[in-house]
Chain A
Amino acid sequence: DNNGKPKDEL
């Protein structure tokens, strides 16, 4: 899970 990371998708 990418929780906490900046979301790099559009």
Chain B
Amino acid sequence: MNIFRLTGDLSHLAAIIILLLKIWKSRSCAGISGKSQILFALVFTTRYLDLFTSFISLYNTCMKLIYIGCAYATVYLIYAKFRATYDGNHDSFRVEFLVVPVGGLSVLINHDFSPLEILWTFSIYLESVAILPQLFMISKTGEAETITTHYLFCLGLYRALYLFNWIWRFYFEGFFDMIAIVAGVVQTVLYCDFFYLYVTKVLKGKKLSLPA
């Protein structure tokens, strides 16, 4: 465990909690892509099946359970409790265009052709693109609430910090996982445009709105 890994995990946790609290406090999921949240719930479910097969540490187990629990709680709030506020018309990204290719790729390119390993690989590939329905929704409506941008920033920062973690682990532990690294780079790159808008607009006190 190095500082990049720990801050990455905490940034990820912060993103998840920010989103849950935003929805809970405002009693509304306006501007949030339910499709992205379903994809994240699917990501955690397929990745953390090793909870049943191997114990790594108390930290590891607790974080996995928190991530999964929060992901399903978020989906529940969007599609059940505050369904009336869900902006389904703007959440029109076709998720099958992500899930099907990602499923095919995880069967083709993986470390080991076993069910758990393929599901883990699927979760890594899917996570890298799971935010696209949310970014698509923002590009469609042309704006995002400031709290939503904080959520996206923490979520993007998490994978960027993991990149530094992998550089660290490569130099000091000789550890690298090519599947995670390539997917992590793709994931981080998808946030670059948003990072730019976040720094140039949101951090200067302006609302994030895209030019028409």
A residues near B (Cβ < 8 Å) are 1-4, 6-10
B56 touching A1, Cβ below 8 Å? no
Residue from A3, A6, A8, A10 in contact with B111 in the complex, judged by beta carbons closer than 8 Å: A3
B12 touching A10, Cβ below 8 Å? yes
Measured CB to CB, the closest approach of chain A to B15, in angstroms, equals 13
Given the known interface contacts A1-B111, A3-B112, the answer about A10 and B178 at a Cβ–Cβ threshold of 8 Å is no
Residues of A within 8 Å of B175, CB to CB, are 2
Total A-B residue contacts, Cβ distance less than 8 Å: 31
B54 touching A6, Cβ below 8 Å? yes
Question: A6 to B47, alpha carbons, bound, how many Å?
Answer: 12
Over the window 170-187 of chain B, the binary record of Cβ atoms lying under 8 Å from chain A Cβ atoms (1 yes, 0 no) is 000001111010000000
Measured CB to CB, the closest approach of chain B to A9, in angstroms, equals 7
Residue from B9, B112, B177 in contact with A10 in the complex, judged by beta carbons closer than 8 Å: B9
Interface residues of B in 42-57 (CB under 8 A from A): 50, 54, 56-57
In the complex, B63 has a CB within 8 A of chain A? yes
In the complex, B35 has a CB within 8 A of chain A? no
In the complex, B120 has a CB within 8 A of chain A? yes
In the complex, B26 has a CB within 8 A of chain A? no
